[in-house]
Amino acid sequence: MFGLVDCNNFYDSCERVFRPELEERPVVVLSNNDGCVVARSQEAKALGLKMGDPYFQVRPLIEQHGVVVCSSNYELYGDMSRRVMWYLQQTAPAVEVYSIDEAFLDLAGMTQHFDLGRWAGEVRGALRQRTGIPTCVGVAPTKTLAKLANKLAKTEFVGGRGAGVLVLSDEAERREALTRVAVEDVWGVGYRSAAKLHAVGVRTAAQLAGVGDAWARKNLGGVVGARLLHELRGFSCAGIVVEDEARKSLACTRSFGRPVTELADVAAAVASHATGAGEKLRRQGLAARLLTVFMETSRFAEVPPPYSFSAQLTMPVATDDTLTLAQVARKGLERIWRPGKRYVKAGVVLDGVERAGTGAQVSLFGDVGVTPERTGLMRAFDALNGRFGAGTVKVATSVAAPGQRQAWAMRRDAKSPAFTTNWGELWAVRC
């Protein structure tokens, strides 16, 4: 059996833990650059605000109803997520951290000894008490069914019914649950597949489970579709994946605060993203062999495609060295640079990720990349930024010329304090 623990309205719930005055009010959290709505409280959902709505479009509605607006505060959400995941890891035999607000639990072997419904209820209660975050739990024989059970548990819980837990333990319960979920709400059925399914009259998860395997293979992404049907029918096709073993790529990408036309500005952003990517690698003890640098123009402007330009470079040895990554990224950027365009986003993506130090090839030319001096330099770099704050030490090319504002800097006008990760922003309690 698999469990799926999913935090309710996660970003909103994180804000409410430290700002209880937001309780029962409509609240939205915006993406970087205050671009889109990415999280909504129940009250905000009731007003018709949708995931992904551009802020500038829904602003009148937000102001009309006095909706509280938060810029995204990933330091806070990341830290709250770690607390939730840590507790789950103390509690369940194996945990797959699926996203910032969700985890799959491997409950194999617990079926005979525990009442899983009761156990899941205790986990919910403990999480609420220890972290302040409300959750719902689905339990079922496959991951896809656990997601589906979670969805039903959440719908009932929000509607004032149910305990926030649903266990699908036998065939009758499984069949009944499938009839209550719309096909577009099944995990793995997106916008495109839903349209195809509607066109042939498939409306519910139960009907989807009954379509022919051949049809699914042809129309739902080949083997991906076939697996989906098996999982809905109760045959597990995917196990628990412990996160660290699984990481294959890693990225740092950002939209600019406003469109950028100069190479120096895009190059500064790219150097900053290469720095960020190097920090992520070292934090996780990883090194990468492939680096992709890309830049994009706006897909919403009246300019024909292409919108995206990228170059992938192979490094002689896997590296986690910021200066090497920044140099390689710069080389790639020069290769793809086209003047006369308004760029809105750039990024660095690392592939060919491996454990640092293991399996790393030795370069024929000896001194490429990993020297003790450079390893020491990076250690000092991380230590200084850790002690005195991110960005204390930077790559010079990422810094704007004296007196100039960074053309590409992000907008975050309504960010809450980093209540749990910054000494200067700790929550103040008056007695």
Binding site for DNA (CB under 7 A): 31-33, 35-36, 38, 51-52, 54, 56, 98-102, 147, 186-194, 221-224, 246-255, 258-259, 276, 280, 290, 292, 298, 300-301, 305-306, 308-314, 335, 344-345, 347, 410
CB of 203 to DNA, least distance (A): 16
User: Which two three-digit tokens encode residue 191?
Assistant: 């916008």
Task: State whether residue 1 is helix, strand or coil.
Answer: coil
Rounded-to-integer distance, Cα 299 and Cα 303, Å: 8
CB of 314 to DNA, least distance (A): 4
How big is the CA angle at 64 (ends 59 and 65), to the nearest 5 degrees?
Answer: 105
CB of 426 to DNA, least distance (A): 26
CB of 185 to DNA, least distance (A): 8
Buried b or exposed e, range 22-52, using 16+ CB within 10 angstroms? beebbbbbbbbbbbbbebbbebbbebebeee
Distances, alpha carbon 191 to alpha carbons 195, 198, 300, in Å: 6, 11, 20
Buried b or exposed e, range 382-418, using 16+ CB within 10 angstroms? beebeeeeeeeebbebbeeeeeeebbbeeeeeeebbb
CB of 248 to DNA, least distance (A): 4
User: Which two three-digit tokens encode residue 282?
Assistant: 């070292």
Identify the DSSP state of 141. Answer: S
- Write out the H or E segment, with its range, that includes residue 144: helix 143-158
Nearest Cα residue to 165 out of 152, 176, 174, 184: 152
Closer to DNA by Cβ: residue 68 or 183: 183
Closer to DNA by Cβ: residue 188 or 377: 188
Closer to DNA by Cβ: residue 292 or 374: 292
CB of 80 to DNA, least distance (A): 14
Closer to DNA by Cβ: residue 201 or 372: 201
Closer to DNA by Cβ: residue 110 or 410: 410
CB of 112 to DNA, least distance (A): 30
Closer to DNA by Cβ: residue 405 or 430: 405
How big is the CA angle at 36 (ends 33 and 39), to the nearest 5 degrees?
Answer: 115
Closer to DNA by Cβ: residue 167 or 328: 328
